[in-house]
Structure 1
Amino acid sequence: MDRHTEKIRKRYDRVSKVYDFLEKPMEKSKFSKWRDMAIEKLEGKVLEVGVGTGKNLDYYPKDLNVTGIDFSSKMLGKARKKAKLLNKNITLIQMDAQKMDFDDNTFDSVYTSCVFCSVPDPIKGLKEIRRVCKNGGKIIMMEHVRSEKKVLGTLMDIFNPLAVNSYGANINRRTVENLKKAGFDNIKVTDLWLDIVKLIEIKNEK
Structure 2
Amino acid sequence: MAAADSEQIRRRYDRLAPWFDSLEGILEGLLFRRLRKKLWSQASGGHILEVGVGTGKNFAFYPDGARITGIDFSPKMLEQAQRKRQRKQIAVDLAQMDVQALDYADNSFDTVIASFVFCSVPKPRRGLKELYRVCKPGGQVLLLEHVLSSNRFMDFMMNLLNPLVVKTLGANINRETLKNVQACPFRNVYTDPASSDMIKLIRAIK
TM-score range, shorter chain: over 0.9
Which residue is 2:22 aligned to? Answer: 21
Secondary structure of 1:17's partner? helix
Which residue is 2:8 aligned to? Answer: 7
CA RMSD of aligned residues (A): 1.3
**Structure 2 residues not aligned, in runs of 5+:** none
Q: How far 1:190 sits from its partner (Å)? A: 2.4
Secondary structure of 1:18's partner? helix
Which residue is 2:188 aligned to? Answer: 186
Amino acid at match of 2:177: T
CA distance in 1, matches of 2:202, 2:190: 6
What's the TM-score, normalizing by structure 2? Answer: 0.95
Give the share of equivalent positions with the same residue, in percent.
Answer: 44
Secondary structure of 2:192's partner? strand
**Structure 1 residues not aligned, in runs of 5+:** none
Measured against aligned partners, the alpha-carbon deviations of 1:66-125 in whole angstroms (never above 9, x if no partner) come to 100000000011011111111111001000000000000000001010000011100000
Q: How far 1:169 sits from its partner (Å)? A: 0.2
Which residue is 2:36 aligned to? Answer: 35
Secondary structure of 2:144's partner? strand
Q: How far 1:191 sits from its partner (Å)? A: 5.4
CA distance in 2, matches of 1:95, 1:49: 9
Alignment of 1:1-206 (within 5 A): 2-44=3-45, 45-190=47-192, 192=194, 194-204=196-206
CA distance in 1, matches of 2:21, 2:33: 13
Task: Give the 3 Å change call, closer, same or farther, for CA 192–168 of structure 1 in structure 2.
Answer: farther
Task: Give the 3 Å change call, closer, same or farther, for CA 151–191 of structure 1 in structure 2.
Answer: farther
Secondary structure of 2:24's partner? helix
CA distance in 1, matches of 2:193, 2:63: 25
Moved over 4 A (4+): none
Between 180-189 and 113-122, the greater mean CA deviation after superposition: 180-189
